[in-house]
Structure 1
Amino acid sequence: MNEAFSWMNLRFLLDGLWVTIQVSIVSIIFSMILGGIAGTVRFSNVPILSRIVGIVIDVIRNLPLLLIIFFTYFALPQIGIKLNIFWAAVAALTIFESAMLSEIFRAGLNAVPKGQTEAGMSSGLTYVQTLTMIIMPQAFKSMLPAILSQLISLIKDTSLAVIISLPELTHNAKIIYGQNTNYVIPMFIAVTLMYFVVCYLLSVVSSFLETSKYNY
């Protein structure tokens, strides 16, 4: 049992955890940008465009993430877009999480009283100025806990990229216990603890922000 937790194995697991965190951070940045744009477009009811974006989001949200990972890694090269394992995982997670975050953004924007928009417009601001200077700052505060919860889900979802051999935490644990089947349980324990620590810390932050939201 102690040999399973040797420094070499732990360092290999930490390397995998670092890849998991890197993929998660890059994916959430891109997802926030795309999801924010998509959610704003749907909120603004742009003729035709909002409906098209809504259909695309509904399709993506109802697809399994594993299928999207397969698509980015195996199907995209067939049309001339070849991504390495890291960026294929990022692309898949970004596509999937953008759809989820777009609904969070739309719900947050819808939660702001419509009188705020009317007040901004009546004061001489354009719709875009009202949206960026008045509506979004208020909406983002209420959206933040939900965004962090989605980030927690994203971190756990990175484990699905093991199917394309992304050297993340689960993949590295699999390699370790593949060399010695006696390490299966110790590796599961180590991986569980690492995921738990990262996700729990984020859940604490989310809970704090949720509580703070109602203190104003």
Structure 2
Amino acid sequence: MSNFANALSWVNISYLLKGFAITLEVSFISILISFVLGTILGIIRYVKIRFVSAFVGFIIDLIRNLPLLLLLFFVYFGLPNLGVRLNAVSATIIALSIFEAAMIAEIVRSGINAVSKGQMEAARSNGFTYSQAMYHIILPQALRKMIPPLVSQFISLIKDTSLATIILLPEVTFNAQLIYGQNVNYMIPMYVSLAVLYFIVNFLLSIASNRLAKRLAI
């Protein structure tokens, strides 16, 4: 118990929370970017624009089948060889956003496919253009179906930020490693603290998702 008490001193806890703030910041920005980009890519793949949709589909499949760590390495270590230098925060956001956008694009495409084809036909017969029907009729219905898988993907994104320790991003996992690096007896307390922090955020996100799903009567 003394190890826990010493490991969880105010100095260590404040340092851990400082890293956790970076984790949340990177996660929030990446979620916003990946959702917008993934939605656009998913729609493009769904509407089957000649050549464009096929190319977008190829890129999405390529990214989805690559390890996130490899993409992170490429953005942080590879891009400097092309003259683009990024700090750890920017590199992590870019890598996470690209990777998650590919995942979200498939969720969006599947969500739109789950909407009855008759909805589009009915909208067009009532004078809606294709774009209007998609925006006002199809996407709102598809979004209701997409909420559970989207939230699961966002939870994965938050947990995946821990991979950025490899490029020295000072997020919560990296800071925990620095703390128990000073005293190996702090390892278990730090792992427990990490588990608690990740659980709280992801559990709250799951609760919010469930409440939203019930409100929308999914």
Residue in 1 that maps onto 2:32: 29
Distance 2:106 2:126 in 1: 29
**Equivalence map 1:55-66=2 (5 Å):** 55-66=58-69
Residue in 1 that maps onto 2:194: 191
Distance 2:84 2:110 in 1: 34
Residue in 2 that maps onto 1:89: 92
String of CA shifts for 1:66-98, please: whole Å, max 9, x gaps: 000000101111112211110100000001000
Distance 2:129 2:114 in 1: 20
Distance 2:154 2:12 in 1: 27
Contact 1:149 1:206 in 2 (8 A): no
Contact 1:89 1:161 in 2 (8 A): yes
Which of 172, 178, 182 is matched with 1:175 structurally? 178
Q: Does 1:152 align with 2:148?
A: no
TM-score (structure 2 length as normaliser): 0.95
Residue in 2 that maps onto 1:165: 168
Distance 1:145 1:23 in 2: 22
**Equivalence map 1:88-167=2 (5 Å):** 88-167=91-170
Structure 1 regions of 5+ residues with no counterpart? none
Q: Percent of aligned pairs with the same residue? A: 51
Equivalent pairs counted in the alignment come to 215
Residue in 2 that maps onto 1:15: 18
Distance 2:108 2:11 in 1: 43
In structure 2, give the amino acid aligned to 1:204: I
In structure 2, give the amino acid aligned to 1:123: N
In structure 2, give the amino acid aligned to 1:64: P
3-state DSSP of counterpart to 1:17: helix
String of CA shifts for 1:187-208, please: whole Å, max 9, x gaps: 1111111111111111222333
Which of 206, 210, 216 is matched with 2:209 structurally? 206
RMSD: 1.2
3-state DSSP of counterpart to 2:92: helix
Structure 2 regions of 5+ residues with no counterpart? none
Distance 1:139 1:84 in 2: 37
In structure 2, give the amino acid aligned to 1:52: F
Distance 1:14 1:61 in 2: 32
Q: Does 1:71 align with 2:77?
A: no
Offset of residue 212 of structure 1? 4.5
Contact 2:39 2:104 in 1 (8 A): yes
Distance 1:3 1:16 in 2: 19
String of CA shifts for 1:17-37, please: whole Å, max 9, x gaps: 111110111001110111001
